[in-house]
Structures are given as structure tokens and as C-alpha cells.
């Protein structure tokens, strides 16, 4: 659901909505809306978020035996790392150089601190927890289906 909500915001902006865009992307991009920004920054990011929603759904499902069931787990860990790294890096940059960021308004800084970075950090934690749960579920199903592992574990 985290990714679907984020995708919805980007699709809203791509279709012409403006609430919150200037404090996210900056006044100039929000006002001018160049084609590259609408296509890559809004539609593209919304599409990537829908892929993230699909990954979340895959992480919540049980997978059959085999190595393919590890793919969503690894992708979940990757998404978690990227979102947490992005959130922490931007937070560090804003705190370390809070008054000398060319083109970043005070409103953008404020909303980045109270909304956008917490949103990225929450998403990173959610994907990490989902990947951890998928790993636990995969290990548990391996123990139940592989008699060799059951024997070793029961000793």
C-alpha cells in the first residue's frame, strides 16, 4: 500500500494536479512542468512505484520450492536499502548544509523533513520487514518439505 499511495500522488501530479508538487519538486518544475519532468519524474516514478507495489504483493505470497522464491526476497532487501539510503542521505544533506542549498526553498526543506523523508524511511522499513518475513517463511517451508533438513533440525 505504501507504493500505491506514492504512485497515486505522482499520477495525480502527472495529470495536472498541483497540491504538494511545488514543495516536492520545486517551484520552477511545478510551474513549468517540462515534458521530461512529466514523463520521467511523474509518470516514470509512478510506474516504478507500481512495480514496488507488485514486489510488496509478491513478498506477501507463499512461493513454491526452488530458487525462484528467493528473487522477491532479494528485491525486497534491495528496495529497503535504496529507500533507507535515499532518506538518510537527503536528511544528512539537509541537516549538514541546511541554509546553503541552491534552489531548495524553506518550504521544500520543511516538507522534506516532516513528510518526504519519513515516507521514504517508512517505505524502506516496510520493504525490509516484508523481506525478512519472506525469508522466515521460506526457511520454515524448507524445513517442512525437505526431510533431510527436518532430521538435522530435530537433533
pLDDT digits over 86-107, tens only? 999 988 888 887 556 666 777 7
| pLDDT at site 29 | 86
Confidence (pTM): 0.77
| pLDDT at site 94 | 80
Each residue's pLDDT tens digit, 102-153: 667 777 888 888 888 898 999 999 999 999 998 888 777 655 555 554 555 5
Q: Please list, residue by residue across 104-131, b when 16 or more beta carbons sit within 10 angstroms of its beta carbon and e when fewer do.
A: beeebbebbeeebbebbbebbebbbebb
The mean pLDDT of the chain is 84
SS (H, E, C) the chain: CHHHHHHHHHHHHHCCCCCCHHHHHCHHHHHHCCHHHHHHHHHHHHHHHHHHHHHHHHHHCCCCCCHHHHHHHHHHHHHHHHHHHHHHHHHHHHHHCCCCCCCCCHHHHHHHHHHHHHHHHHHHHHHHHHHHHHHHHHHHHHHHHCHHHHHHHHC
| pLDDT at site 140 | 75
Amino acid at each position: 500500500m505504501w507504493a500505491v499511495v506514492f504512485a497515486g500522488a505522482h499520477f495525480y501530479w502527472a495529470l495536472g494536479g498541483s497540491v504538494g508538487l511545488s514543495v516536492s519538486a520545486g517551484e520552477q518544475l511545478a510551474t513549468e512542468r517540462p515534458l521530461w519532468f512529466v514523463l520521467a519524474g511523474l509518470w516514470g516514478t509512478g510506474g516504478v512505484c507500481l512495480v514496488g507495489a507488485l514486489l510488496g504483493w509478491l513478498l506477501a505470497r507463499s512461493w513454491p520450492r526452488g530458487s525462484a522464491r528467493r528473487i522477491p526476497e532479494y528485491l525486497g532487501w534491495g528496495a529497503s536499502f535504496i529507500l533507507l539510503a535515499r532518506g538518510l542521505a537527503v536528511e544528512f544533506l539537509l541537516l549538514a548544509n541546511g541554509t546553503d542549498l541552491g534552489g531548495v526553498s524553506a518550504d521544500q526543506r520543511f516538507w522534506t523533513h516532516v513528510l518526504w523523508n519519513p515516507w521514504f524511511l517508512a517505505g524502506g522499513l516496510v520493504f525490509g520487514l516484508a523481506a525478512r518475513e519472506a525469508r522466515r517463511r521460506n526457511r520454515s517451508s524448507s524445513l517442512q518439505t525437505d526431510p533431510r533438513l527436518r532430521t538435522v533440525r530435530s537433533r
